[in-house]
Amino acid sequence: MKPQTVKQSIVFRVDSSAQIGGGHLMRCLTLAEMLKKEAKITFVCRDLPGNTAFLAESRGFDLKLMPFHGESPALGGYEKWLTIPPDMDAAETQEAVREKAACLVVDHYALGLEWERKLRPYTEKIIVIDDLADKPHDCDILTNQSFEPELSQKYDGLTPAGCRKFLGREYALLREEFYLARKSLRRRTGELRNVLIFFGGGDYGGETGKVLLALESAPGLTANVVVGGGNERKDEIERLCASLPWAKFHCQIDYMAALANEADLAIGAGGLAAVERCFLGLPSLIVSVADNQEAGGKMFAALGFAEYLGNSSDVAALAWREAVLRYKREPGRLLRMSQAALNVSRTIGSGARLFKKAVLHA
């Protein structure tokens, strides 16, 4: 009888909430799905308002929920998302992990060098998934999957000697559904008939409702409207969609790629969702719903597959309506954006297997 292989233990420290959204959790789940045949996966998440940590359990992974202690007005910056000081989070994470893991994957804007040093005794290696390059880290592997040029220079002095860095869109983590959808891409003509609306898992600023009202009388359009399970306005949005015969409501779905393939234009935020849409050749009309999305939004626009309208709080409903109707009148422009997306997408995710190998065997 063939001996059973003992799987290595990999722990993910990541949060989701109405404020954070679900993007960090989703990309960690994507990586976990890639690793699950070779590893025993555990997610350590805080039980924040509007979180979707239950998705880890629904995918068959172990989940350890740390308690929510309430909001702390003394915290600033991304520590507000964490809701407690990082040293307190480190102590609670240590208690949750207990036994030493082969690997600890950290995807959280509020956690950096001191937190990682406190977790060093609990893991053989630390992997950081980052977007910001704004703080030092004690890690063995770091990945930043953004489109920014010269990313390596941004990490000068922020990582220890010997840290392996996987930088750029080649290492983007895309769910399997997007690879499958890419095999059957439909040919877009530039004609605008179907819109995909998605502002992230939380949509903290309520952009979905604003766009729906803006497009209420737009002629000849249908829309698939997607919200995350952590969206605090999801019931309100569902009722609004029910009153609009051209809008179809979807909540916490696993078929986003199929809807993207159907769409002629996406309306939403920047971040990972914009990268996914680009991968399928779908033009995007985007705003930034957090400060860290502004640079990406401008970069997507410079690459030609998106139009960036600015910070969501500065974009009125009328601006959304005018932009959509402009694309309705200019099919050639929409087609050029789709072609630009497909050109950019050729390298997206091409290094994902190399990154997976490093996680398991470095």
Q: Cα 354 to the chain's mean position, in Å?
A: 20
Q: Could you give the CA distance from residue 317 to residue 215 in angstroms, rounded to a whole number?
A: 8
Average pLDDT score over residue span 131-149: 94
Report whether 252 contacts 182 (CB < 8 A): no
- SS3 for 85-111, per residue? CHHHHHHHHHHHHCCCECEEEEECCCC
Average pLDDT score over residue span 230-246: 93
Q: Could you give the CA distance from residue 230 to residue 48 in angstroms, rounded to a whole number?
A: 10
Is the pTM higher than 0.75?
Answer: yes
The two structure tokens encoding residue 333: 């422009």
Q: Where in the chain is the domain with CATH 3.40.50.11190?
A: 8-167
326-357 per-position pLDDT tens digit: 999 999 999 999 999 999 999 999 999 999 99
pLDDT computed for residue 4 by the predictor = 58
Q: Could you give the CA distance from residue 276 to residue 287 in angstroms, rounded to a whole number?
A: 16
Integer CA distances (angstroms), 93 to 130, 308, 319, in order: 19, 38, 44
Considering the domain 177-345, what is its CATH architecture?
3-Layer(aba) Sandwich (3.40)
Average pLDDT across the chain, whole number: 94
Considering the domain 8-167, what is its CATH architecture?
3-Layer(aba) Sandwich (3.40)
Tokens 């401008």 sit at which residue?
298
pLDDT at 2 over 60: no
pLDDT computed for residue 310 by the predictor = 94
Q: Where in the chain is the domain with CATH 3.40.50.2000?
A: 177-345
**90 contacts: CB under 8 Å, gap ≥ 6:** 114, 115, 118, 119
146-179 per-position pLDDT tens digit: 998 889 899 999 999 999 999 999 999 999 999 9
- CA angle 212-213-219, nearest 5°? 80
Compute φ and ψ for 136, nearest 5 degrees.
Answer: -75, 155
